[in-house]
Amino acid sequence: MGFIADRMSRIKPSPTVAVTAKANELKAQGVDVIGLGAGEPDFDTPDHIKEAAHKAIADGKTKYGPPPGILPLREAICRKFERDNDLKYTPDQISVGCGGKQTIFNALMATMNPGDEVIIPAPYWVSYTDITMLAEGEPVVVDCPADKGFKLTPDQLRAAITPKTKWLMLNSPSNPTGACYTTDELKALADVLLEDKHAHVHVMTDDMYEHIVYDGFEFATIAQAAPDLYERTLTLNGLSKAYCMTGWRLGYAAGNADLIKQMNKLNSQSVTSPATFVQWAAIDALDGPHDFIDAHNKVFKGRRDLVVSKLNACAGVECLTPEGAFYVYPSCAGVLGKKTPEGVEIDSDEAFVKYLLESEGVACVHGEAFGLSPYFRISYATSTEALEEACTRIQRACEKLS
Ligand code: PLP
């Protein structure tokens, strides 16, 4: 019997965090590396939110907070859902956590029994499968390749449901593809879940990138598109991405009050609550001005267009134009089977990404980490100059393959 728990062998460190760490390590050694692995905006947190945190600290908001989250923040979250999503929640339906990641962790820990299944459309955000496995559940991964716009279809959903299905996991706009579900697409998925024989299936929707959309795309979340699913939906969101608050660690979930109570119980026995002054500042973030988001989105859109056009000019690479988030997920099918100048065969997306890092100092994440190959993910939440240079290097690397 080993000292380390068996459950630890079911999971791996987050590959996106690992790529960022590797890129930083190389940079520290003086290697010229452009990191396109991190899923975090390069913009700083807006000043009014920082000032709210300073004030909260000065006002002594430095004591333990209650496990569900402070009431004024939960009230601000209820206002957000009503304003942005036309969804009515009361504070006892809200659980606040240390980032969206922890709220997903709490929701799965609170609901999964051994063998219960979670339907996860691939490519998926890396943590859905591993948190499911930590909670002793079974990820049921459904491939949604580029020719389906990286989106789950109603037929695929119907085929994946079993008596053991507990959750369908949805993420729109998506990390890693930037794909967004329209209201009609959400309604069509909801129709499947509303069939009598599927009444046991709940939906967890991760709306972390809600505000980061382009080309006039109208964001919708499933409980809004299909009000009949409201009782069975857990709606997740957080401040990390749109508010540029990744390091503040604040996320939240809204749903059935009995489930929320169990998630709060987990908070009470683990983190207690996110930092109290962060929660006070989060109220100012949610209630405050949002014009900076449009300004950021304009910059992101310019970068998206640049990256998509430059990647499509790379031999063997094909890239869709996503409608949201700050990622692209190009296919590298066209480079498989080719050889590097050193004679190494590119036999997988992992080998391609390794080649890009070693030959040109460009760090991206291989598609296998997100459950769908052969692709790779580029985060364009970095400076336009760095993106220009990175794409030039990728193009050069592709040309060197034969
Ligand atoms: N969900 C998605 C789809 C993400 O991309 C991320 C972060 O990368 C998270 C959740 C977690 O965000 P956080 O824990 O910072 O709120």
345: pLDDT strictly greater than 90 = yes
Q: What percent of the chain has pLDDT over 90?
A: 92
Lowest pLDDT segment from 5-14, 71-80, 163-172, 266-275: 5-14
In this prediction, residue 324 has a pLDDT band, given cuts at 50, 70 and 90, of: very high
Express each pLDDT in 25-69 by its tens digit. 888 888 899 999 888 999 999 999 999 999 999 999 999 999 999
**Ligand 1 atom at shortest distance from the alpha carbon of 250:** 16
Digit-coded pLDDT (tens) for 204-224? 999 999 999 999 999 999 999
Query: What pLDDT does 173 receive?
Result: 98
Mean pLDDT computed over 247-263: 98
Of all protein residues, the one whose alpha carbon is nearest to atom 8 of ligand 1 is 39
Which of the four pLDDT bands, split at 50, 70 and 90, describes residue 1? Answer: low
Mutate to test the pocket of ligand 1, among 125, 132, 210, 235 (most ligand atoms within 8 A of CB): 125
HEC profile for the chain? CCCCCHHHHHCCCCHHHHHHHHHHHHHHCCCCCEECCCCCCCCCCCHHHHHHHHHHHHCCCCCCCCCCCCHHHHHHHHHHHHHHHCCCCCHHHEEEECCHHHHHHHHHHHHCCCCCEEEEEECCCCHHHHHHHHCCCEEEEEECCHHHCCCCCHHHHHHHCCCCEEEEEEECCCCCCCCCCCHHHHHHHHHHHCCHHHCCCEEEEECCCCCCECCCCCCCCHHHHCHHHHHHEEEEEECCCCCCCHHHCCEEEECCHHHHHHHHHHHHCCCCCCCHHHHHHHHHHHHCCCHHHHHHHHHHHHHHHHHHHHHHCCCCCECCCCCECCEECCECHHHCCCECCCCCECCCHHHHHHHHHHHHCEECEEHHHHCCCCEEEEECCCCHHHHHHHHHHHHHHHHCCC
pTM: 0.96
Q: Whose CA is nearest to atom 7 of ligand 1?
A: 39
Average pLDDT over residues 118-142: 97
The model's confidence at residue 149, banded by pLDDT at 50, 70 and 90, is very high
- Residue 264 Cα to ligand 1 midpoint, Å, equals 19
263 CA distance to ligand 1 centroid (A)? Answer: 18
Average pLDDT for residues 111-127, to the nearest whole number? 97
For range 87-103, the mean pLDDT: 98
Mean pLDDT of 70-93: 98
Can you give the pLDDT at residue 19?
79
What is the pLDDT, as a whole number, of residue 135? 96
pLDDT reported for residue 16? 78
- The answer on pLDDT for 18 being more than 80 is no
Mean pLDDT along residues 277-285: 98
Q: Which atom of ligand 1 is nearest to the CA of 238?
A: 16
Q: Mean pLDDT over residues 120-148, rounded?
A: 96
Question: Is residue 22's pLDDT more than 90?
Answer: no
Query: Does the structure show a pLDDT above 90 at 122?
Result: yes
